[in-house]
Structure 1
């Protein structure tokens, strides 16, 4: 039997709005794991949605390691959880794509009386349950009927932190998340901001491109419109909280490790990391913020 293809056929329309007005935004290799291939990110000239084209198949995603990525540092995760403090304390919270549940572990420090569950397609979610980070672990994808039927209408909060960019069908994933929410519950979503000035300055070295693992880069306006179309009220849109100060350090590491300067990569990357943190208070207030966050209430 011949090997199954790792790419789907190239498409000539936008997967978000259907427009055929596309341009190539980026061509990049796998800079992180150095596996073979060159990958293309196209952008829709009508709705600004950016997407991998041609897209990896499910087999391709497994080959290139699309699952099992780590979350941000604990301080950043606590700041994310803190953004939910103005709302009624939730009894139940589901973290989608939770991995080893680093976010629920940090959020428990602020929401001691909340039950945290997690869903993830990798066995790490079961490890997190055994480690006491989760009350319930659900192995699989949220959109799987056998998973969603168990979780329907159970949660006051559903979080999806840097999850949708890895998903083949983000709209279907959002609909599943809203199905898991109780009426009046809140959906917390964080995503890379494709309009970030860092993307323009750093090009293929911008960490949030992360080809071939990121399939979609969804502009904030598109996400808000989709949530409203699915019956939500947008409560908060925020670029300050989700900004992660790692753009310069990651770009330096990726670049230096591919050049003759790889022996000096560690000290130069450390210097870039210092600059990232020094500049963060200013950058998160500008278009250099590398991510955005939306909190929506299910009506």
Structure 2
């Protein structure tokens, strides 16, 4: 459940500046004392190495949360001695950005550009710019080749972790029947106001009809789950045999995490429970009964700016125009090198008898 960074923990950032020198250097080992390494929720192996230890910068929480690494699949796992319902509510309390706001259709040149991108996915021209098809298709790929599925006949889409419903509302305007799953009561209410049919519960507890959905999306939701493989198995049963699953998560193996270390914005501790790499995301999907059709690295300008805001304890840096421009350049370069801050997979239901990867 991503969004633009709104860093809060300035005091902790100042105190922690000297502690991060990359993913494996400069870690204060005192924070590992007394902490047992958790098992990997993807492959079941015991994690073996402490990767980073950092506070909750977003909520200004001084407690430190360690992330351990699985030696088999490479996933990172957030370890917390106490992670019950009360702790979970506190972590998502206040102005947690993905739960706020409402969706408004883009206007003016932004609206025309958005309409032009949609034509690259096969949607009607609407108020699109008069560009040839090869350019609209190119714009669609740049914007994100799976940001929206192809036009429905009509189709049924489930958005898991739908937040306040911005994405669902945009698909409703394009003719989709959109349903959502969202555990936060306030966010679920805002999504309903935008026309999304929402079950206010976890994906594990949701009532999902078998084989009902043409498309299921998880936009920055899978990393918030303690048992991502179990959730994916549930969603596999709800997806049509010819349907598609679209998953987007942060990439802990990208350049952003390597450069910023414990200050990387997308650690988002303790809310992010599992920290994926391309290999561990592929494995999770494979174990759950999916086959990956394509995996892309997505540029994200906010990761660099947000991480530097944490690093220097200055929240305003997260929205500084120069840093956002630098973030775009860094993000595009990293994505082209397949080391982006964010990875996105499109998967289909694995055929019966198909071999498992790895």
Match of 2:354 in 1: none
State yes or no: 1:51 paired with 2:57: no
Q: 1:253 to 1:61 in 2, by over 3 A?
A: same
Task: Give 1:168 deviation, angstroms.
Answer: 1.2
**Displacement of 1:108 after TM fit?**
4.0
Once the two structures are superposed, what CA deviation does each residue of 1:205-243 show, in whole Å capped at 9, x if it has no partner? 111111111110122222223323333232111113xx3
Match of residue 157 from structure 1: 215
* Pick aligned residue for 1:189 from 224, 229, 247: 247
The 3 A distance-change label for structure 1 pair 164 and 69 is: farther
Q: Give the direction of change, closer, same or farther, for the CA distance of 1:155–1:37 in structure 2 (3 Å limit).
A: same
2:38–2:77 Cα contact (<8 Å) kept: no
Name structure 1 gaps, 5 residues minimum.
Answer: 1-8
Q: Does 1:131 align with 2:131?
A: no
1:38 aligns with 2:96: no
Change (3 A) 1:191 1:152: same
Provide the residue aligned with 2:285 in structure 1.
Answer: 227
Assess if the C-alpha contact under 8 Å between 2:146 and 2:346 holds in 1.
no
Structure 2 CA distance for partners of 1:251 and 1:54, relative to 1, 3 Å: same
CA RMSD between the two structures:
3.1
Give the structure 2 partner of residue 209 of structure 1.
267
1:266 deviates by 4.8
| Alignment of 1:273 onto 2:329 | no
* Cα distance per residue 1:116-140 (max 9 Å; x no partner): 11110112223222233x2x22111
- Alignment partners' CA distance in 2, 1:173 and 1:288: 26
Structure 1 Cα separation of the partners of residues 50 and 284 of structure 2 = 24
Q: Is the 8 A contact 1:249 1:270 kept in 2?
A: no
Deviation at 1:280, TM superposition (A): 3.6
Match of 1:20 in 2: 46
Shift of 1:87: 8.2
1:268 to 1:99, Cα distance in 2 relative to 1, 3 A: closer
Q: What TM-score, normalized to structure 2?
A: 0.69
Per-residue CA deviation, residues 152-190 of structure 1 (Å, 9 max, x unaligned), is: 321100001110111111111111211221221111001
Q: Which secondary structure does the structure 1 equivalent of 2:158 belong to?
A: strand
Moved more, 288-297 or 15-24: 15-24
Question: Structure 2 vs 1, CA of residues 247 and 153 (structure 1 numbering), >3 Å: closer, same or farther?
Answer: same
Indicate how the Cα distance of structure 1 residues 183 and 201 shifts in structure 2: closer, same or farther if over 3 A, else same. same
Q: Is the 8 A contact 2:42 2:283 kept in 1?
A: no
Which residue does 2:132 correspond to in 1? Answer: none
User: Structure 1 53/93 Cα, relative in aligned 2: closer, same or farther at 3 Å?
Assistant: same
The answer to which structure, 1 or 2, has the higher relative contact order (CA under 8 A, 6+ apart) is: 2
Picking from 47, 70, 91, the partner of 2:98 is 70
Q: Which moved more, 1:76-85 or 1:93-102?
A: 76-85
Larger radius of gyration: 2
2:151 is aligned with 1:93: no
Alignment of 1:142 onto 2:170: no
Contact 1:66 1:166 in 2 (8 A): no
Instruction: Pick the aligned partner of 1:60 from 87, 94, 105.
Output: 87
C-alpha contact 1:13 1:22 (8 A) present in aligned 2:
no
DSSP-derived class of the 2:192 partner: helix
Aligned-partner Cα distance in 1 for 2:248–2:286: 17
The answer as to whether partners of 1:81 and 1:107 remain within 8 angstroms in 2 is no
List structure 1 segments (4+ residues) > 6 angstroms apart after TM superposition. 73-78
